[in-house]
C-alpha cells in the first residue's frame, strides 16, 4: 500500500518528476510540502490533465500547477467527520495536519468507504472485422487474439473489473458467436455481461442504439482492441466535474515533416524551419457519455463517434477532452500486436 510520504514533493520539483511519482503510486495525488513540512498544496490527477490541455511545459515547477488552497483536517478528526467533510466538498483526498499545519497523514475517500463498486455501465466495441490483422483474423475475431496468454478483450474486461465496474455490454458482429461462447454472461468473472448484436455495421456510436434500456449514470464506451492503464474512475470524475454530455479521451500525437518548411512573405522567404514537428490531440478510442447524449444517436444507422460529438457540439451541448497520460496501445496492425505481446504486463498495482 502506498504511503503519503511516497508522494510528498517540494514546490520546486519539475512537474514531470511529480507526475512520475504519482504514476508509481495508487493515490492519484501528490502532497506538496514546504521545507518545514507544512502543507503548500495538492496536485491531483485532474490538475495535471488540465495543465496538459493548457500546454504547460512539464519542466515547470509543481507549485505553478498545484492547488494552493487545498483543505486539510486536524489529525484528530474522527472517521465520520472526515467522510462527511469529503462528501460535502466532493474531495477524494484530504491531508491530515498537526497543530503547526505540518502534514502527518493523508486519507482518501476510497479508504474511508472501502472498495468501490461502480454503477456506471461499460460498453465495449468488439464487432470489427480486423481486416488489417489478416490472416490472423480470418478464423478468429480480433478481440480474441491473445496478449499475455489471454484474449485482448479479457484483459480489457479484467482491467475494468479491478476498478469496480460490474455491468457490461459488448457490441458484436464479426464472429459474434465465438465471443459469446468465450465470455458467456460474465458470471465467470462475477459481473453482468450482455451483447449488442449488430446485424450490419453500425459504427462506434450507432451500436449504442441497441442498448436495451436507458442508463441512469454516465457510462464508458471503449474500443475492444485497446490496451491501456487508464484510471477510469478519474475519467468519470473529470466528465462529471465538467458537466459534459460527452467526454473524449485524447492523446498527444506528433507528426514530423520530413522536409525543411519554407514560410513565405509574398515571394520572399521569411524563414526556414528544418523538419518541424507538429503536435495534435487525437482520439484514443475511449469515451464517457451522459445518458442524454443517446438522444442524438439514430436507430439502426451507421453512426460513428466523431459524428456524435459533432451533433452534440451543434446542439450547444458541453463536450470535454480528457488528456491521456497512461500507457495506451491500439492493436490495429500486426506490428502493434507484436509490440503488445512484447511489452504488456497487465494493470499496474
Q: How many Cα atoms occupy the beta-carbon half-sphere of 81 within 13 Å?
A: 8
349 carries an active-site annotation: no
Question: Per the residue annotation, which of 24, 89, 150, 275 is the catalytic one?
Answer: 275
Cell numbers representing residue 211 in the block? 442498448
Residue 58 DSSP code: T
Q: Which of 325, 328, 326, 327 is nearest to 51 (CA)?
A: 325
Strand partners, 222: 124, 286
Residue 95: Cβ-neighbour burial (10 angstroms; 0-12, 13-18, 19+): buried
DSSP letters along 107-163, please? Answer: EEHHHHH-S--B---EEEE-----GGGTTTTSSS-GGGSEETTEEHHHHHHHHHHHT
The owner of cell 463517434 is: 305
Q: How far is CA 89 from the centre of its chain?
A: 23
User: How many CB atoms are located within 10 Å of the residue 52 CB?
Assistant: 21
Pair 31, 95: CB distance under 8 Å: yes
For residue 10, CA distances in Å to 101, 133, 203 come to 16, 48, 47
Could you report how far apart the first and last alpha carbons of the chain are, in Å?
9
Q: Could you list the active site residues?
A: 275
Amino acid at each position: 500500500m502506498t504511503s503519503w510520504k511516497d508522494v510528498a514533493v517540494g514546490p520546486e520539483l519539475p512537474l514531470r518528476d511529480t507526475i512520475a511519482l504519482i504514476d508509481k503510486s495508487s493515490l492519484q495525488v501528490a502532497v506538496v510540502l514546504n521545507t518545514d513540512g507544512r502543507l503548500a498544496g495538492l496536485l491531483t490527477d485532474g490538475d495535471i490533465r488540465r495543465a496538459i490541455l493548457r500546454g504547460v511545459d512539464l519542466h515547470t515547477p509543481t507549485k505553478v500547477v498545484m492547488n494552493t488552497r487545498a483543505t486539510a483536517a486536524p489529525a484528530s478528526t474522527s472517521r465520520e467527520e472526515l467522510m462527511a467533510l469529503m462528501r460535502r466538498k466532493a474531495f477524494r483526498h484530504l491531508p491530515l495536519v498537526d497543530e503547526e499545519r505540518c502534514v502527518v497523514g493523508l486519507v482518501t475517500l476510497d479508504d474511508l468507504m472501502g472498495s468501490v463498486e461502480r454503477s456506471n455501465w461499460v460498453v465495449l466495441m468488439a464487432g470489427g472485422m480486423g481486416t488489417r490483422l489478416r490472416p490472423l483474423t480470418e478464423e478468429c475475431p480480433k478481440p480474441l487474439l491473445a496478449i499475455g496468454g489471454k484474449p485482448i478483450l479479457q484483459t480489457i474486461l479484467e482491467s475494468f473489473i479491478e476498478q469496480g465496474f460490474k455491468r457490461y455490454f459488448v457490441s458484436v458482429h464479426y464472429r459474434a458467436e465465438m465471443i459469446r461462447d468465450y465470455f458467456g454472461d460474465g458470471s465467470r468473472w462475477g459481473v453482468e455481461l450482455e451483447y449488442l448484436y449488430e446485424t450490419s455495421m453500425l459504427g462506434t456510436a450507432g451500436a449504442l442504439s441497441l442498448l436495451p434500456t436507458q442508463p441512469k449514470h454516465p457510462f464508458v464506451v471503449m474500443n475492444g482492441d485497446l490496451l491501456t492503464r487508464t484510471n477510469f474512475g478519474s475519467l468519470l470524475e473529470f466528465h462529471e466535474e465538467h458537466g459534459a454530455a460527452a467526454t473524449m479521451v485524447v492523446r498527444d500525437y506528433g507528426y514530423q515533416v520530413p522536409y525543411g518548411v519554407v514560410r513565405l512573405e509574398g515571394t520572399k522567404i521569411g524563414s526556414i524551419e528544418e523538419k518541424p514537428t507538429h503536435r495534435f490531440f487525437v482520439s484514443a478510442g475511449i469515451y464517457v457519455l451522459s445518458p442524454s447524449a443517446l438522444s442524438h444517436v439514430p436507430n439502426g444507422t451507421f453512426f460513428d463517434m466523431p459524428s456524435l460529438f459533432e451533433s452534440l457540439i451543434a446542439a450547444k451541448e458541453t463536450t470535454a477532452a480528457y488528456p491521456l497520460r497512461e500507457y495506451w496501445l491500439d492493436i490495429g496492425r500486426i506490428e502493434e500486436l507484436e509490440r503488445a505481446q512484447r511489452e504488456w504486463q497487465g494493470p499496474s498495482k
